[in-house]
Chain A
Protein backbone atom coordinates (compact mmCIF):
# COMPACT_ATOMS: atom_id res chain seq x y z
CA UNK A 1 0.00 0.00 0.00
CA UNK A 2 1.37 3.38 -0.94
CA UNK A 3 2.01 5.78 1.92
CA UNK A 4 -0.30 8.46 0.53
CA UNK A 5 -3.18 6.02 0.47
CA UNK A 6 -2.61 4.64 3.94
CA UNK A 7 -5.77 6.20 5.34
CA UNK A 8 -8.24 4.74 2.91
CA UNK A 9 -10.15 1.51 3.28
CA UNK A 10 -11.12 -0.30 0.04
CA UNK A 11 -14.62 1.14 0.40
CA UNK A 12 -13.23 4.65 0.83
CA UNK A 13 -10.99 4.21 -2.21
CA UNK A 14 -14.05 3.31 -4.25
CA UNK A 15 -15.86 6.37 -2.92
CA UNK A 16 -12.83 8.52 -3.69
CA UNK A 17 -12.85 7.29 -7.28
CA UNK A 18 -16.61 7.79 -7.52
CA UNK A 19 -16.35 11.41 -6.36
CA UNK A 20 -13.52 12.23 -8.75
CA UNK A 21 -15.18 10.51 -11.69
CA UNK A 22 -18.47 12.24 -10.93
CA UNK A 23 -16.73 15.60 -10.64
CA UNK A 24 -15.04 15.16 -13.99
CA UNK A 25 -18.24 13.86 -15.58
CA UNK A 26 -20.23 16.84 -14.30
CA UNK A 27 -17.57 19.26 -15.59
CA UNK A 28 -18.26 17.90 -19.06
CA UNK A 29 -21.96 17.05 -19.03
CA UNK A 30 -23.15 20.10 -17.04
CA UNK A 31 -20.68 22.54 -18.57
CA UNK A 32 -23.36 24.70 -20.19
CA UNK A 33 -25.36 25.06 -16.94
CA UNK A 34 -22.18 25.75 -14.97
CA UNK A 35 -21.07 28.45 -17.42
CA UNK A 36 -24.39 30.25 -16.92
CA UNK A 37 -24.08 29.92 -13.14
CA UNK A 38 -20.49 31.18 -13.29
CA UNK A 39 -21.51 34.32 -15.16
CA UNK A 40 -24.23 35.03 -12.58
CA UNK A 41 -21.81 34.47 -9.70
CA UNK A 42 -19.14 36.72 -11.23
CA UNK A 43 -21.72 39.46 -11.82
CA UNK A 44 -23.56 39.31 -8.49
CA UNK A 45 -20.89 37.69 -6.21
CA UNK A 46 -23.55 35.29 -4.93
CA UNK A 47 -25.47 32.30 -6.22
CA UNK A 48 -27.82 29.82 -4.55
CA UNK A 49 -28.54 26.27 -5.69
CA UNK A 50 -30.45 23.32 -4.28
CA UNK A 51 -29.50 19.76 -5.17
CA UNK A 52 -31.53 17.07 -3.44
CA UNK A 53 -31.26 17.55 0.32
CA UNK A 54 -28.40 20.05 0.08
CA UNK A 55 -28.52 23.82 -0.10
CA UNK A 56 -25.47 25.16 -1.90
CA UNK A 57 -24.48 28.81 -1.43
CA UNK A 58 -21.73 30.14 -3.66
CA UNK A 59 -19.96 33.42 -2.98
CA UNK A 60 -16.86 35.47 -3.74
CA UNK A 61 -14.81 36.52 -0.73
CA UNK A 62 -11.40 38.20 -0.94
CA UNK A 63 -9.36 36.14 -3.41
CA UNK A 64 -11.44 32.96 -3.18
CA UNK A 65 -14.53 31.37 -4.65
CA UNK A 66 -16.48 29.67 -1.85
CA UNK A 67 -19.21 27.06 -1.67
CA UNK A 68 -21.07 26.43 1.59
CA UNK A 69 -23.18 23.27 1.56
CA UNK A 70 -25.76 22.52 4.25
CA UNK A 71 -28.02 19.53 4.54
CA UNK A 72 -31.69 19.71 5.41
CA UNK A 73 -31.36 16.57 7.52
CA UNK A 74 -30.05 16.53 11.09
CA UNK A 75 -27.63 13.63 10.81
CA UNK A 76 -25.77 14.57 7.66
CA UNK A 77 -22.50 16.35 7.19
CA UNK A 78 -22.09 19.86 5.94
CA UNK A 79 -19.07 21.04 4.02
CA UNK A 80 -17.45 24.03 2.40
CA UNK A 81 -15.01 24.35 -0.49
CA UNK A 82 -12.71 27.27 -1.28
CA UNK A 83 -10.70 27.70 -4.48
CA UNK A 84 -8.22 30.42 -5.37
CA UNK A 85 -9.55 32.99 -7.87
CA UNK A 86 -7.31 33.08 -10.95
CA UNK A 87 -6.41 36.25 -12.85
CA UNK A 88 -8.28 36.04 -16.14
CA UNK A 89 -12.04 35.78 -16.62
CA UNK A 90 -11.61 32.69 -18.77
CA UNK A 91 -9.69 30.97 -15.96
CA UNK A 92 -12.23 32.17 -13.41
CA UNK A 93 -15.07 30.51 -15.33
CA UNK A 94 -13.08 27.27 -15.60
CA UNK A 95 -12.39 27.37 -11.85
CA UNK A 96 -16.06 27.96 -11.11
CA UNK A 97 -17.05 25.05 -13.35
CA UNK A 98 -14.79 22.86 -11.22
CA UNK A 99 -16.21 24.34 -7.99
CA UNK A 100 -19.79 23.62 -9.08
CA UNK A 101 -18.84 20.09 -10.11
CA UNK A 102 -16.86 19.43 -6.91
CA UNK A 103 -19.71 20.59 -4.72
CA UNK A 104 -22.32 18.51 -6.53
CA UNK A 105 -20.01 15.48 -6.77
CA UNK A 106 -19.42 15.78 -3.04
CA UNK A 107 -23.00 14.63 -2.50
CA UNK A 108 -21.95 11.04 -3.17
CA UNK A 109 -21.84 8.99 0.04
Chain B
Protein backbone atom coordinates (compact mmCIF):
# COMPACT_ATOMS: atom_id res chain seq x y z
CA UNK B 1 0.00 0.00 0.00
CA UNK B 2 1.41 3.39 -1.01
CA UNK B 3 0.06 5.05 2.09
CA UNK B 4 2.29 2.83 4.19
CA UNK B 5 5.36 4.22 2.42
CA UNK B 6 4.48 7.77 3.21
CA UNK B 7 5.43 9.11 6.58
CA UNK B 8 3.30 12.01 7.62
CA UNK B 9 4.82 14.87 9.52
CA UNK B 10 1.73 15.27 11.61
CA UNK B 11 1.74 13.56 14.97
CA UNK B 12 -1.77 14.63 15.74
CA UNK B 13 -4.64 14.01 13.40
CA UNK B 14 -7.99 15.47 14.19
CA UNK B 15 -10.69 13.11 13.16
CA UNK B 16 -13.99 14.78 13.87
CA UNK B 17 -15.73 17.73 12.35
CA UNK B 18 -14.73 20.77 14.38
CA UNK B 19 -17.37 21.59 16.92
CA UNK B 20 -15.85 24.21 19.18
CA UNK B 21 -14.14 27.56 18.70
CA UNK B 22 -11.11 28.77 20.67
CA UNK B 23 -9.70 32.21 19.79
CA UNK B 24 -11.41 32.18 16.41
CA UNK B 25 -9.89 28.79 15.51
CA UNK B 26 -12.03 25.69 15.13
CA UNK B 27 -10.91 22.80 17.34
CA UNK B 28 -11.77 19.15 16.76
CA UNK B 29 -12.91 17.35 19.89
CA UNK B 30 -10.80 14.21 19.33
CA UNK B 31 -7.38 13.30 18.09
CA UNK B 32 -5.25 10.22 17.61
CA UNK B 33 -1.63 10.27 18.72
CA UNK B 34 1.11 7.75 17.88
CA UNK B 35 4.70 7.52 19.02
CA UNK B 36 7.92 6.51 17.34
CA UNK B 37 8.90 2.83 17.21
CA UNK B 38 11.45 2.28 19.94
CA UNK B 39 13.18 -0.24 22.14
CA UNK B 40 11.74 -0.02 25.62
CA UNK B 41 14.68 1.62 27.41
CA UNK B 42 13.25 1.02 30.86
CA UNK B 43 13.17 -2.68 30.12
CA UNK B 44 16.62 -2.78 28.58
CA UNK B 45 18.28 -1.03 31.51
CA UNK B 46 17.01 -3.68 33.90
CA UNK B 47 17.66 -6.77 31.80
CA UNK B 48 18.77 -7.97 28.39
CA UNK B 49 15.18 -8.29 27.18
CA UNK B 50 14.65 -6.33 24.00
CA UNK B 51 11.42 -5.58 22.21
CA UNK B 52 10.39 -3.02 19.62
CA UNK B 53 7.17 -1.26 20.52
CA UNK B 54 4.85 1.56 19.51
CA UNK B 55 2.44 3.47 21.76
CA UNK B 56 -0.74 5.31 20.79
CA UNK B 57 -3.55 7.25 22.43
CA UNK B 58 -7.01 8.45 21.51
CA UNK B 59 -7.75 11.75 23.24
CA UNK B 60 -11.21 13.29 23.34
CA UNK B 61 -12.76 16.31 24.99
CA UNK B 62 -16.18 14.72 24.60
CA UNK B 63 -17.31 11.36 25.97
CA UNK B 64 -16.48 8.41 23.71
CA UNK B 65 -17.56 4.82 24.04
CA UNK B 66 -16.76 1.47 22.46
CA UNK B 67 -13.35 2.77 21.46
CA UNK B 68 -11.42 0.40 19.20
CA UNK B 69 -7.80 1.46 18.88
CA UNK B 70 -5.49 -0.44 16.54
CA UNK B 71 -1.71 -0.15 16.41
CA UNK B 72 0.48 -1.80 13.77
CA UNK B 73 4.25 -2.11 13.57
CA UNK B 74 5.89 -2.13 10.13
CA UNK B 75 9.50 -2.40 9.04
CA UNK B 76 11.03 -0.93 5.93
CA UNK B 77 12.59 -3.08 3.22
CA UNK B 78 14.33 -2.78 -0.14
CA UNK B 79 11.35 -4.16 -2.05
CA UNK B 80 8.64 -2.61 0.09
CA UNK B 81 7.63 -2.42 3.69
CA UNK B 82 6.70 -5.44 5.77
CA UNK B 83 4.00 -5.99 8.35
CA UNK B 84 5.42 -7.05 11.73
CA UNK B 85 2.61 -6.98 14.28
CA UNK B 86 -0.83 -5.62 15.03
CA UNK B 87 -2.75 -5.26 18.24
CA UNK B 88 -6.35 -4.07 18.46
CA UNK B 89 -7.89 -3.11 21.80
CA UNK B 90 -11.61 -2.57 22.31
CA UNK B 91 -12.83 -0.76 25.41
CA UNK B 92 -16.49 -1.37 26.08
CA UNK B 93 -17.04 1.47 28.55
CA UNK B 94 -17.54 5.21 28.10
CA UNK B 95 -14.72 7.65 28.79
CA UNK B 96 -15.10 10.95 30.64
CA UNK B 97 -14.50 14.40 29.18
CA UNK B 98 -10.85 15.10 28.28
CA UNK B 99 -9.81 11.53 28.92
CA UNK B 100 -7.46 9.30 26.97
CA UNK B 101 -7.70 5.75 25.79
CA UNK B 102 -4.13 4.48 25.81
CA UNK B 103 -2.68 1.60 23.89
CA UNK B 104 0.86 0.64 24.78
CA UNK B 105 1.00 -3.14 24.41
CA UNK B 106 1.93 -3.49 20.75
CA UNK B 107 5.40 -4.98 20.52
CA UNK B 108 7.59 -7.72 19.06
CA UNK B 109 10.42 -9.40 20.88
CA UNK B 110 13.79 -8.86 19.12
CA UNK B 111 15.33 -12.06 17.76
CA UNK B 112 18.77 -10.52 17.21
CA UNK B 113 20.64 -7.20 16.90
CA UNK B 114 20.10 -6.70 13.16
CA UNK B 115 19.66 -3.00 12.39
CA UNK B 116 16.05 -2.59 11.24
CA UNK B 117 13.91 0.49 10.60
CA UNK B 118 10.42 0.42 12.10
CA UNK B 119 7.41 2.70 12.18
CA UNK B 120 3.95 2.57 13.69
CA UNK B 121 0.48 2.99 12.21
CA UNK B 122 -2.59 3.71 14.34
CA UNK B 123 -6.28 4.03 13.54
CA UNK B 124 -9.43 3.90 15.58
CA UNK B 125 -13.18 4.00 15.76
CA UNK B 126 -15.43 5.17 18.56
CA UNK B 127 -19.06 5.94 19.29
CA UNK B 128 -19.22 9.70 19.81
CA UNK B 129 -22.26 11.96 20.02
CA UNK B 130 -24.55 9.20 18.80
CA UNK B 131 -22.49 8.23 15.76
CA UNK B 132 -19.63 5.94 14.86
CA UNK B 133 -16.55 8.01 14.12
CA UNK B 134 -13.50 6.66 12.33
CA UNK B 135 -9.97 8.02 12.65
CA UNK B 136 -7.78 7.71 9.59
CA UNK B 137 -4.37 6.09 9.76
CA UNK B 138 -1.72 8.08 11.59
CA UNK B 139 1.92 7.18 11.07
CA UNK B 140 4.95 7.70 13.28
CA UNK B 141 6.74 10.98 12.58
CA UNK B 142 10.15 9.33 12.27
CA UNK B 143 11.65 6.04 11.17
CA UNK B 144 14.64 5.24 13.33
CA UNK B 145 16.90 2.21 12.76
CA UNK B 146 16.93 -0.03 15.81
CA UNK B 147 19.22 -2.90 16.72
CA UNK B 148 16.33 -5.31 16.70
CA UNK B 149 15.75 -8.00 14.12
CA UNK B 150 12.27 -9.53 14.04
Chain A residues within 8 Å of B, Cβ to Cβ: 2-8, 12-13, 15-17, 19-21, 23-24, 27, 64, 74-84, 94, 98, 102, 106
Of A7, A19, A24, the contact of B56 (CB 8 Å cutoff): A7
Contact stretch, chosen from B1-9, B13-21, B42-50, B124-132? B42-50
Report chain B residues within 8 Å CB of A8: 55, 102, 104
State the CA gap A64–B88 with chains docked (Å).
Answer: 14
Of A5, A20, A78, the contact of B51 (CB 8 Å cutoff): A20
State the CA gap A6–B33 with chains docked (Å).
Answer: 10
CB contacts under 8 Å to A, within B77-110, are: 82-93, 102, 104-105, 107-109
Within 8 Å of chain A (Cβ to Cβ): is B60?
A: no
- Please tell me if the beta carbons of B82 and A77 are within 8 angstroms of each other in the complex: no
Report chain A residues within 8 Å CB of B92: 74-78
- Please tell me if the beta carbons of B55 and A20 are within 8 angstroms of each other in the complex: no
Nearest chain A CB to B54 CB, angstrom units: 8
Nearest chain B CB to A76 CB, angstrom units: 7
CB contacts under 8 Å to A, within B34-69, are: 35-38, 40-43, 46-47, 49, 51, 53, 55-57
Chain B residues within 8 Å of A, Cβ to Cβ: 33, 35-38, 40-43, 46-47, 49, 51, 53, 55-57, 82-93, 102, 104-105, 107-109, 111
Report chain B residues within 8 Å CB of A7: 33, 35, 55-57, 102, 104
- Please tell me if the beta carbons of B85 and A84 are within 8 angstroms of each other in the complex: yes
Report chain A residues within 8 Å CB of B111: 94
- Please tell me if the beta carbons of A4 and B102 are within 8 angstroms of each other in the complex: no
- Please tell me if the beta carbons of A81 and B85 are within 8 angstroms of each other in the complex: yes
Chain B residue at minimal CB-CB distance from A105: B105
Of A21, A74, A76, the contact of B43 (CB 8 Å cutoff): A21
Known: A74-B92, A81-B85, A82-B86. A20 touches B40 (CB 8 A): yes
Of B49, B84, B85, the contact of A24 (CB 8 Å cutoff): B49
Known: A4-B38, A17-B46, A20-B43. A84 touches B84 (CB 8 A): yes
Chain B residue at minimal CB-CB distance from A68: B88
- Please tell me if the beta carbons of A75 and B93 are within 8 angstroms of each other in the complex: yes
Chain B residue at minimal CB-CB distance from A14: B42
Report chain B residues within 8 Å CB of A20: 40, 43, 49, 51, 53, 107
